[in-house]
Amino acid sequence: MDLKKIKNIVLRKEILLSIFILSVVITNFQSILSGPNRMENGEMEYCSYNNYIIFAKSSEHIRMGKDLYVHYPDEYWDLYKYSPSFAVFFGFFATFPDWLGLFLWNLLNALVFFVAVISIPGLSEKQKLLALAFSFIEFFTSIQNEQSNALMAGLIILAFSSLEGRKYLLASFLIVFSVYIKLFGIVALVLYLFYPQKLRLALYTALWFVVLFLIPLVYVDTGGYLALLESYGRMLANDNRVSNAYSVMGWLYNWFGLEIDKYFIVLMGAAILIIPLINTASYKTYSYRLLCLSSILVWVVVFNHKAESPTYVIAMAGASLWFVISRKSVGNIVLFVFAIIFTSLSPTDLFPSVLRENVVIPYSLKAFPLILIWVKIVFDSLRKPGLMS
């Protein structure tokens, strides 16, 4: 069977959806059947699906009135770093045995991400399926680590589709919910600039912020909740470790030896992000709005000092959307192939480990292609609209 026939088979919605679901089944078996892992301190062993246990135990802790943001070394490695509201939400999965709860959690990530990309208006089915296929390796990495990143990408993309359909109540909920999972979801509020009835959007957003903020009061009293929020704030303030392999901050340090304050870099990145927004005449052009969505998806990862390899499903989704709508110039193709090789394939067994350990990681080559693509997206956004292929 030649490559064209394989492509025609895989690029069918039902086939690709089956591949996504099968990947969830495979990772579930892999996680449940794997032995315990010895973590960095080398003293204790934890189950191979440690991130899921963190989420599940957090829902138990909030019901018991415990502090979510302290170490529980007898239960899991690392800290819980999400909002109290997310701990309540995760209680649904925690009610099931680990094998089933883990499966449902990863399945939610898969389905939301898949449906979100399929929901994008203005793209052909082939473009949507290509974007999903290009993002698949990063998606697989994310669910292997029981992470919420595919869900985050899906929520932001679904919010964009809902805004395009003027479903403002739903769009605002999706964005606010993403913020209560990971704070960087708030960047997606930039999308509001492109749509009418901004007051309605603002009111819906405020409503959802209040509703989701109050949910933990089901389990904790006001005093306990305030103490929990104070602990959450302390945890965020003390969480200063920079991910040298996966962010702009790390790239600047690894290539040039520059140790620049992360907040300054984020501010500079934010300034560049909003430069294309000055051209308000482009707001009515759909390809421009889709480019801005792509820019946001990449930005929230490469300018995140806490970015990890599993986070890159968000950025790769943005890069893939950019590529499927961009002109297939030599430069664009080279950039995207560069991303496929170094961003997606370099962490896998398909890539020589000696190159990964001695070149890719030390020189932030997982992040670098996406940084270049983000710059190209910004440049494309500043040009005359009309990039749809």
Tell me the per-residue pLDDT of 178-225, one tens digit each, with 9 for 90 and over.
999 999 999 999 999 999 999 999 999 999 999 999 999 999 999 999
Q: Which residues contact 302 (CB under 8 A, 6 or more apart)?
A: 247, 248, 269, 315, 367, 370, 371, 374
Q: Could you please report the per-residue DSSP string of 206-250?
A: HHHHHHHHHGGGGTS-HHHHHHHHHHHHHHHHH-----TTTSHHH
More confidently predicted of 140 and 388: 140
Give the pLDDT mean for 281-309. 96
Average pLDDT score, the chain: 94
Q: Which of 250, 233, 256 is nearest to 309 (CA)?
A: 250
Tens of pLDDT, residues 47-89? 999 999 999 999 999 999 999 999 999 999 999 999 999 999 9
AA letter at 62: I
Give the pLDDT mean for 307-336. 97
Structure tokens at 214: 């109050």
Cα 85 from Cα 209, distance rounded (Å): 11
Tens of pLDDT, residues 245-260? 799 999 999 999 999 9
Q: Where residue 43 falls among pLDDT bands split at 50, 70, 90?
A: low
What pLDDT shows up at residue 387? Answer: 47
Query: Do 48 and 35 contact (CB within 8 A), yes or no?
Result: yes
What pLDDT shows up at residue 389? Answer: 47
Q: Where residue 38 falls among pLDDT bands split at 50, 70, 90?
A: low
Query: Do 212 and 176 contact (CB within 8 A), yes or no?
Result: yes
CA angle (170, 174, 177) in 5-degree steps: 135
Query: Do 125 and 12 contact (CB within 8 A), yes or no?
Result: no
320 class by beta-carbon count within 10 Å (0-12 exposed, 13-18 middle, 19+ buried): buried
What does DSSP assign to residue 283? G
What pLDDT shows up at residue 345? Answer: 96
CA distances from 335 to 55, 174, 326 (A): 36, 31, 12
What pLDDT shows up at residue 242? Answer: 67
pLDDT above 70: percentage of residues in the chain: 94
Taking 3-state DSSP, the helix, strand and coil percentages for the chain, each rounded to the nearest 5, stand at: 70, 0, 25
Q: Where residue 239 falls among pLDDT bands split at 50, 70, 90?
A: confident
What pLDDT shows up at residue 41? Answer: 54
Choice among 113-127, 236-250, 344-358, 360-374 with the minimum mean pLDDT: 236-250
Rounded to two decimals, the pTM is 0.95
Give the pLDDT mean for 40-53. 81
